[in-house]
């Protein structure tokens, strides 16, 4: 297992001067690692600390997989899965994941 550490220091006076404009430019932070390593826990804490929104893309990918299972799609046909993903409506409502209006949070997090 390999871990990469990084730090990003933001002058606190900059945030104090313009809290409504923080960050000054759009920023996306991604965290990668093996299953069960605590990525979501760290990501939620980091987002809260920075004042960012947390977007659980893993749950979104699992929602597409759930829809594929329900429709009996073959996993060796990536173009079919891509087409399905394009047709789905996936919503993140707080901690809930909605797939075409259905709450599938429990199904994609267990």
pLDDT tens for 53-74 read: 888 888 888 999 999 999 999 9
- In 21-54, which positions are buried (b, 16+ CB within 10 angstroms) versus exposed (e)? eeeeeeeeeeeeeeeeeebeeebeeeeeebeeee
The answer on pLDDT for 25 being more than 60 is yes
What is the average per-residue pLDDT within 11-27? 59
Q: What is the mean pLDDT of residues 42-57?
A: 83
pLDDT above 70 coverage of the chain, percent: 76
pLDDT at 86 over 60: yes
Dihedral angle over CA of 39, 45, 48, 51, nearest 10: -60
Q: Which residue has the higher pLDDT, 1 or 103?
A: 103
């Amino acid at each position: 297992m390999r871990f990469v550490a990084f730090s990003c220091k933001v002058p606190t006076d900059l945030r104090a001067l313009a809290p409504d404009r923080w960050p000054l430019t759009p920023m996306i932070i991604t965290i990668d690692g093996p299953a069960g390593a605590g990525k979501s826990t760290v990501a939620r804490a980091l987002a809260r600390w920075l004042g960012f929104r947390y977007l659980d893309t893993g749950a979104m990918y699992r929602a597409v997989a759930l829809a594929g299972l329900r429709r009996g799609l073959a996993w060796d046909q990536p173009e079919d899965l891509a087409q399905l993903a394009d047709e789905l409506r996936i919503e993140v409502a707080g901690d809930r994941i909605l797939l075409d209006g259905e709450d599938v949070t429990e199904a994609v997090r267990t």
